[in-house]
Amino acid sequence: MNEGNVFPVDFLADYAATILRCGATTVRTEKNVQRIAGACGYHAEINIYPRHVDVNVTNVGNGKNTTRSRAIPDWEINFSTITALSRLSWRCHDRHPKQEIIMRQYRRIVNARRISSSAVISLTALANASFCRLFGGDYASMAIVLVATACGFYMKGNLCSKWKLDARAAIFMAGCVSAILSCAGYVFNIGKTPDVALATSVLYLVPGIHYLNAASDLINRHYICAICRFIHAGIMTICLSTGLYAAMTIMRIGLTH
Amino acid sequence: MLPIIEDCFFAAIAAVGFGSISNIPTRAFYGCAFLAAAGHGTRTLLMGMSCISIIWASLAGSIVIGLLSIPVSSHLKTPAESMSYPALLPMIPGMYAYRTINALLQCTEPSPDNILIHNLCTMSYNGLVCTIIILLMLIGVTIPIFFFDKYSFSATR
């Protein structure tokens, strides 16, 4: 092993695992890693698997190469981190900063805080209420969806972070609770579009970004990653659909007997 | 159908909310709202004025989002997908998905053959339309990013 390769290969493996965890597409991950390696005088090849990533770095000068493998933690979509890491790759390409500066900036990006959970809950509830309006729901249905979404989203966050519940179970339970709450329109005769309220109450759980990343990976011919993301997103969709199905069965919505 | 301004307004709010779940950069919220309004507005206009089906109107809306995301991402220095992906989500055919689940639920009830067949047809129709819309939307928004890859992947430079 060439000891001179240790910095770029370790850093690039961590970088690749982090950006993939945040929901970057395979094409962006490849381009960013190769851009940083090129700026440091190396050539990088990257193998992306559903749960792992391998980075192989070759010293352009002497031809020696080193490989590192990293596990990709559970996906946690974070476009702010993807943006900052992409910008870091261009900074390496254009300005060739020292290793310490690159590492310092990388650590700052990785440790950056997310948008506060209360703001996310409020915006998501507003988003789903707007969704209800787009599907032809009236203002009473929008208010029901707003409350149902806020409760479901808050519950999902707590089930995952505090109770460490599996994400699939959390999605099922959040979907079920949101759907039951949104049945208020049927139960108390509120508004004229209770069906729209019920239909839109679980849409905040749709894993749209995973579907889109899968399509992007498919076009980039990363078929294994694409299929993996499709299956992951499909399972999430099945979980939320099952939650909706369970809620409709409990509340006797759509059943005549 | 909602008036076009109201439609664009609510699509923008929905996109901003879904963007916050994905923790998009603060400045990307503006782009996200603009793209969602443009895409959803295009779909509504095509469906209302030209009587185009929701399937092709959704494809057109997603292509508009994909194409506009390239210059907007270069202007705001953020990756195109950080804005175009949340902006696409308000076009998810939620009512078709709901009707599919509803018909599935009714299929599980003991009922005469003609009602069962009606429910199966309703489930298949809504499920198929929902799946085709989602697939075309995925293709429509992703293709422009790859077609103009020189610009879309250097937006953060």
pTM summary value: 0.90
CB-nearest partner of A206 from B92, B101, B104: B92
* The domain boundary residue, chosen from A60, A88, A110: A110
Res A255: pLDDT: 58
Res A5: pLDDT: 56
- The ipTM of this complex is 0.89
Claim to verify: residue A144 and residue A98 sit in the same structural domain: no
Hey, what's the torsion of the CAs at A45, A29, B40, A129, to 10 degrees?
A: 140
Q: What are phi and psi of A47, to 5 degrees?
A: -110, 120
Claim to verify: residue A123 and residue A106 sit in the same structural domain: no
How many cross-chain Cβ pairs, A to B, lie less than 8 Å apart?
Answer: 160
**B12 vs A133, A200, B65, CA distance in Å?**
12, 16, 12
What would the two tokens of residue B144 be? 């422009």
Res B106: pLDDT: 86
Other beta carbons less than 10 A from residue B49's beta carbon = 9
CB-nearest partner of B14 from A130, A195, A211: A130
A19–B contact, CB cutoff 8 A: no
Claim to verify: residue A63 and residue A31 sit in the same structural domain: yes
* The domain boundary residue, chosen from A79, A110, A141: A110
Chain A residues 121-140 with a CB less than 8 Å from chain B: 123-128, 130-131, 133-136
Coil, strand or helix: which one is B4? helix
* Cβ contacts of A250 on chain B, cutoff 8 Å: none
Q: What is the DSSP letter of B78?
A: S
**A33 vs A12, A26, A46, A136, A154, CA distance in Å?**
6, 11, 8, 46, 36
Q: Do B139 and A215 touch (CB under 8 A)?
A: yes
Res A256: pLDDT: 52
Claim to verify: residue A96 and residue A129 sit in the same structural domain: no
Res A3: pLDDT: 46
* The domain boundary residue, chosen from A50, A83, A110: A110
Claim to verify: residue A169 and residue A105 sit in the same structural domain: no
The span from the CA of B28 to the CA of B73, in Å, is 8
The span from the CA of A107 to the CA of A47, in Å, is 24
Claim to verify: residue A123 and residue A31 sit in the same structural domain: no
Res A257: pLDDT: 44
Q: What are phi and psi of A222, to 5 degrees?
A: -95, 75
In a domain, residue A256? The reply is: no
Q: Is residue B78 pLDDT above 80, yes or no?
A: yes
Determine the longest span between alpha carbons in chain B, in angstroms: 64
The span from the CA of B151 to the CA of B91, in Å, is 25
Claim to verify: residue A228 and residue A196 sit in the same structural domain: yes
Query: Side chain identity at B88, as an amino acid letter?
Result: L
Claim to verify: residue A127 and residue A78 sit in the same structural domain: no
pLDDT band at B54 (very low <50, low <70, confident <90, very high): very high
Q: What are phi and psi of A207, to 5 degrees?
A: -80, 65
In a domain, residue A152? The reply is: yes
pLDDT digits (tens, 9 = 90+) for B12-24: 999 999 999 999 9
The span from the CA of A93 to the CA of A100, in Å, is 16
The span from the CA of A246 to the CA of B83, in Å, is 34
- Domains in chain B: boundaries: 4-92+136-152
Residue from B80, B3, B91 nearest B55 by CA? B91
Chain B residues 130-149 with a CB less than 8 Å from chain A: 134, 138-139, 141-143, 145-146, 149
- Residue A211 Cα, gap to closest chain B Cα (Å): 8
The span from the CA of A91 to the CA of A94, in Å, is 5
Test mutation, B138, B148, B149, B154, chain A, max A CBs within 10 A: B138
Other beta carbons less than 10 A from residue A161's beta carbon = 11
* Cβ contacts of B88 on chain A, cutoff 8 Å: 208, 212
The span from the CA of B55 to the CA of B43, in Å, is 9
- Residue A3 Cα, gap to closest chain B Cα (Å): 31
Claim to verify: residue A144 and residue A48 sit in the same structural domain: no
Res B98: pLDDT: 85
Res A2: pLDDT: 43
How many distinct structural domains can be found in chain A? 2
Claim to verify: residue A153 and residue A40 sit in the same structural domain: no
Give the rounded distance of the alpha carbon of A68 from its chain centre: 25
Q: Which residues of chain A have pLDDT under 70?
A: 1-6, 254-257
Q: Do B94 and A135 touch (CB under 8 A)?
A: yes
What chain A residue is nearest to B153 in terms of C-alpha separation? A28
Other beta carbons less than 10 A from residue B102's beta carbon = 23
Claim to verify: residue A55 and residue A82 sit in the same structural domain: yes
Q: By residue range, what is the domain housing residue A88?
A: 3-110
pLDDT digits (tens, 9 = 90+) for B118-146: 999 999 999 999 999 999 998 999 888 88
Q: Do A79 and B10 touch (CB under 8 A)?
A: no
pLDDT digits (tens, 9 = 90+) for A180-205: 999 998 899 998 999 999 989 999 99
Coil, strand or helix: which one is B95? helix
Residue from B72, B73, B66, B71 nearest B145 by CA? B66
* Cβ contacts of A130 on chain B, cutoff 8 Å: 10-11, 13-14, 17, 90
- The DSSP code sequence of chain A is --GGGHHHHHHHHHHHHHHHHTT--HHHHHHHHHHHHHHTTEEEEEEE-SSEEEEEEEETTT--EEEEEEEPPSP---HHHHHHHHHHHHHHHHH---HHHHHHHHHHHHTPPPPPHHHHHHHHHHHHHHHHHHTT--HHHHHHHHHHHHHHHHHHHHHHHTS---HHHHHHHHHHHHHHHHTHHHHTT-SS-HHHHHHHTTGGG--HHHHHHHHHHHHTT-HHHHHHHHHHHHHHHHHHHHHHHHHHHHTT-S---
Claim to verify: residue A163 and residue A97 sit in the same structural domain: no
Q: Is residue B1 pLDDT above 80, yes or no?
A: no
Q: Do A79 and B28 touch (CB under 8 A)?
A: yes
